[in-house]
Amino acid sequence: MGEQQHVKFPQEVIDEYAALGVDLPALFSAGHLGNRMGVQIVEASAEKVVGTMPVEGNTQPYGLLHGGASAVLAETLGSIGSMLHGGASKIAVGVDLNCTHHRGARSGLVTGVATPVHRGRSTATYEIVITDEQGKRVCSARLTCLLREINPQDADNLPSAGRA
């Protein structure tokens, strides 16, 4: 996973993960797929996650932003919010993603903003609004994640960059 040194996290969240030896910006990057697609995480907290993605390189044959690319951006942002809500003792696992595509984008960057709809003990649901550079809504998405306790085998799957 690529490091996202410019991500803004609340200091108390950075401190919580640092106490566990976790490099939070590296752990909550866009991941391998997101990195390939150019996803950049700009801001991250349980209350709001913001990220961008270029349209170029993420289009379908007609030259429009691929709906699957919007889904990748939405799931990335909603998952990060869910993980931050769940805290260092839980892992977020996506169980439902719904995307409605409103308009096409042919160039520039799209920006996604994830905000919580529900934050419970065992699930978290985020609404993700993706807009183009003119502020027009390209996609509305909703992601629900199951929040489960981390078990020993999960540690083997954490990216090495996420451990300090």
Q: From the candidates 75, 127, 133, 149, which is the catalytic residue?
A: 75
Q: What are phi and psi of 36, to 5 degrees?
A: -60, -30
DSSP 43-94: EE-SS-EEEEEESTTSB-TTSSBPHHHHHHHHHHHHHHHHHHHH-TTEEEEE
d(CA 125, CA 21) in angstroms, rounded, equals: 28
The answer to whether 79 and 57 have CB atoms below 8 angstroms apart is: no
d(CA 99, CA 95) in angstroms, rounded, equals: 14
> Is 75 marked active-site?
yes
d(CA 73, CA 95) in angstroms, rounded, equals: 16
d(CA 129, CA 119) in angstroms, rounded, equals: 18
Supply the DSSP symbol for 95: E
Catalytic residues: 75
